[in-house]
Amino acid sequence: MDLQSTIERIYSELKPFALQGKVASYIPALAKVSPNKLAICVHTNDGDVYRVGDVCEPFSIQSISKVFGFTMAYKMLGGEIWKRLGKEPSGNSFNSLVQLEYEQGIPRNPFINAGAIVVSDILLSLYPNPQQELLEFVRRIADEPSIKYNLEVAKSEKDTGYRNAALAYFMKSFGNIQNPVEDVLDFYFLQCSLEMSALCLSKSFQYLANHGVIPSTNEQILTMSQAKRINALMITSGLYNESGDFAYRVGLPAKSGVGGGIVGIFPKKLSLCVWSPPLNEFGNSLAGIEAFERFTTYTGDSVF
Ligand code: GLN
């Protein structure tokens, strides 16, 4: 199987799909991104890298950052974390409020906004300077010291993030937010504003494709069991209320963000990132999903 020609073939087939989507505009600073950007990057556990398109251009990773925040919190707390969070798919949009009242302020999973806001609260309690710790963690796993937060994007989201504020205050009323809501939201928006290229994102997910260990350095980020469980959460909840359709069409654990990125892994083999900013109605990259579907179809590789 020649992975380079496979991703080049997929790249050439994608343009019509991107044109049907819409770049996220509910965070005003994101609306400036060109809808024509397109990148596909693969890292194999053996150390090979395959790439095509705008793979070196940093973009807003948004909800993909939920995997990094959760990894840091889960590593510290282990199974204790499930007192504050669920591990079921929500079946609702990523910023939905409806389940939270029925479920006493416990978010369905760590990959919807409410869940990631609880994780931000946990990290604020666990680390003296979680903003810096998270940045250093991401720089290390991506092997890229220049990765930054985009303060303009974070501010733009803070200025308009009424729904996330509602989620945080609502959970506070149930006692599931321990720090001041303002601090939790500031950290959550900052985390979402991380900018990374498709090349860095694909590299940064390698520990999830390799039993919790970064293949190039042998650094253990998580135990084998913890990595397995994060992959299970990604397959059930990584694309919000489109996770079932994504599992059906693609069959890989993956996480999306409204910046148009999707990163996924094939266990013990590779990690894959696709970036195309135009989104579908679920807030997932339209061409990104197509690319993932074609990748598992053309290579014959999926977890199923
Ligand atoms: N920062 C975005 C928000 O909270 C992240 C959502 C996403 O990428 N789906 O709305």
Tens digits of residue pLDDT in 185-201: 999 999 999 999 999 99
Q: Supply the residue whose CA is at minimum distance from atom 10 of ligand 1.
A: 95
Catalytic residue (one of 60, 63, 202, 237): 63
Sheet holding 254-256, edge to edge: 49-53, 39-44, 270-275, 261-266, 254-256
Lookup: tokens for 98 = 């409806």
**What is the model's pLDDT at position 83?**
97
**What is the model's pLDDT at position 19?**
82
**What is the model's pLDDT at position 196?**
98
Per-position DSSP letters for 123-165, written without gaps between them: HHHH-SSHHHHHHHHHHHHHT-TT-EE-HHHHHHHHHH-HHHH
- Round to whole Å and give the CA distance between 193 and 176: 24
Q: Is the CB of 258 under 6 A from ligand 1?
A: yes
What is residue 279's DSSP assignment? Answer: B
- For residues 243-269, average pLDDT: 97
Residue 155 designated active-site: no
Q: Percent of the chain scored above 90 by pLDDT? A: 95
For 22-161, where are the alpha helices, taking DSSP H only?
65-77, 98-102, 113-126, 130-142, 151-160
| CATH 3.40.50.10610 applies to domain 3-299 | no
Tens digits of residue pLDDT in 25-78: 999 989 999 999 999 999 999 999 999 999 999 999 999 999 999 999 999 999
Closest CA to 119 of 132, 129, 106: 106
- For residues 247-262, average pLDDT: 98
Tens digits of residue pLDDT in 139-186: 999 999 999 999 999 999 999 999 999 999 999 999 999 999 999 999
- For residues 89-110, average pLDDT: 93
Q: Percent of the chain scored above 70 by pLDDT? A: 100
Q: Tell me, in angstroms, the distance from the centre of ligand 1 to residue 258's CA.
A: 6
Residue 12 designated active-site: no
**What is the model's pLDDT at position 18?**
82
**What is the model's pLDDT at position 20?**
87
Residue 25 designated active-site: no
**What is the model's pLDDT at position 1?**
62
Residue 49 designated active-site: no
**What is the model's pLDDT at position 76?**
96
Mean pLDDT, the chain, whole residue set? 96
Lookup: tokens for 68 = 């990094």
**How remote is the C-alpha of 1 from its chain's centroid?**
28
Q: Is the CB of 113 under 6 A from ligand 1?
A: yes
Burial 182-202 (b: 16+ CB within 10 A, else e): eebbbbbbbbbbbbbbbbbbb
Q: Which atom of ligand 1 is nearest to the CA of 164?
A: 4
The structure's pTM equals 0.97
Residue 274 designated active-site: no
Q: Is the CB of 257 under 6 A from ligand 1?
A: yes
- Round to whole Å and give the CA distance between 173 and 196: 35
Q: Is the CB of 242 under 6 A from ligand 1?
A: no
Lookup: tokens for 167 = 């989620």
Q: Tell me, in angstroms, the distance from the centre of ligand 1 to residue 188's CA.
A: 10
- Round to whole Å and give the CA distance between 118 and 97: 14
